[in-house]
Amino acid sequence: MELHESLVEYGFRRAIITITAVLCALLEIVDTTIVNVALNDMRGNLGGTLSEVSWVITAYAIGNVIIVPMTSWLSQQFGRRNYFAASIIIFTVASFLCGNANGIWELVFFRLVQGLGGGALLVTAQTLITESWPPEKRGIAQAIYGLGVIVGPTLGPPLGGYIVDNYSWPYIFYINIPLGIIAALLTLQFIRSPKYSEKKASNEIDYWGIVLLAIAVGSLQYVLEKGQEEDWFNDEIITLLSVTTVFGFFFFIWRELTYKNPIVNLRVLSNGNLRVGTVLSFILGFGLYGSTFIIPLYTQATLGWTATQSGLLMVPAAIVTAIMMPIVGQLLQRGVKQQYLVALGMIFFFIYSYWGYLILTPDTGKDAFFNMLLVRGIGLGLLFVPISTLALSTLKGREIGEGAAFTGMMRQLGGSFGVAVITTFIARQNMFHRNDLVSKLDINNPAVQQRVKGLEQGFLANGISPDIALKRGYQILDLTVSKQAVVMSYMDVFLYLGLMFLVCVPFVLWTKSGKGKVDTSAAH
């Protein structure tokens, strides 16, 4: 296998490598969200409960999060080109098997395998793009990669909705097969392996590190995905796995810092910029996946939209983000500091969230969401590229892959935390607001009596008997209260999500910049 000192490419080769990497990142990310829309069809088709079918999402996320921190080491062990091609092939074969699954647990297992293949696509794609562009153009390189990462979660739901409405759910997996084959062939033909990757002998491999990482991260992901559903620490499995997570991470960190050939090089975090970038990636994941999760949920559950409608609502914002990416790349190249752009992005995100807080009602129209989501698109565009370049700007050689693995993992975990926290928060706030509203509905209040009377008269006019008409009047009133409580819960989510981003602004401005321009010397 040929090993190369410099991986910077020019012209046609660079274009092909960049396209391959973005295609792979897109495949992996679209698959994270495309399934959400098809869960109902899968449940009917494979005969599972809602909680069983939600494992289709959980298994993929667990596979992803376990493999992401190991990608840098696996690339060194097998050679980057071979490992990247193998990951694409595993992902593609698993996609075929997912589409052919006969039972719910069979599908869950193949999704886990697909996640193990897919996790590598994301991080290795970022490393490939970073290394095949010269250091002074890294801002633009991250912008191109960012297109895939930001547009991916948004493309998933409308694409999934379209496929489910017009074909059947297995096709959301089959769509990966031709793209996977093309990506694997391009990888084997054009991608080169770096010179600094040295293979370790089998007796030097950090097997305990692999086991501890899989246990810690897998347990954490399970707790986050299933916590609200199983009522958190009132459930024995959740409690057990939470303890396992804490001890797993403790022993994993201790092992990696004391073993001479660690599977995850934690020492790379001694780089200040990477530490800041890792924390910011977590916050970005929280906001990106949290808000991608909450809006379709609200529009479908409360406003009664179809999956395709709520998916399409997100598309204009994704286009705005796509337009913003190269602009931000150019600004970075001209020497604008990363912190200023990140702070501005967070302020835009606050405006978007506060706007959401102001406009939500039980019947908010499509137009009301449109402008608000455009602001979100601008915010995300300003956040992604500067965070990636800030994190990787002062790393060189093999550290780039190790750094990309940390930011990738933290973005994934941030997303999982975001969805878990938001789901729990909505459920708790819903109870709180409902009890609050019900306590204000005094049956002796003339306004309440008048409302019930009006509803009762409406039913009587339709020929329904008086006792049933009164009962239905109270039912309608109860439904109205429930809907209002849901709306108020979502309003709270938007408000607190916005405040979280606003609080981060001063901390971002305090961080030291990598360099005015994106790293021109560090990677030489």
Q: Give the whole-number percent of the chain exceeding pLDDT 70.
A: 89
* Average pLDDT estimate for 475-494: 81
CA distance 152 to 29: 5
Angle at 32 between CA 252 and CA 96, to 5 degrees: 105
* Average pLDDT estimate for 303-307: 74
CB atoms under 10 Å from CB of 305, counted, come to: 17
Query: Facing residues of 3 across strands?
Result: 193
Pairing type for strands 3-4 and 193-194 reads parallel
CB atoms under 10 Å from CB of 439, counted, come to: 8
pLDDT tens, residue by residue, 307-349: 677 777 878 888 888 888 788 878 877 878 888 888 888 899 8
pLDDT at 521 over 60: no
Mean pLDDT of the chain: 77
User: What's the confidence (pLDDT) of residue 516?
Assistant: 41
DSSP 362-380: TT--HHHHHHHHHHHHHHH
Structure tokens at 340: 């200023």
Asked whether the CA dihedral 411, 412, 417, 422 is positive or negative, the reply is positive
pLDDT tens, residue by residue, 248-295: 888 888 887 787 777 777 777 777 778 878 888 888 888 777 777 777
pLDDT tens, residue by residue, 404-417: 777 777 887 787 77
Q: Which band of pLDDT confidence, cut at 50, 70 and 90, is reported for residue 3?
A: very low
Structure tokens at 61: 């996320």
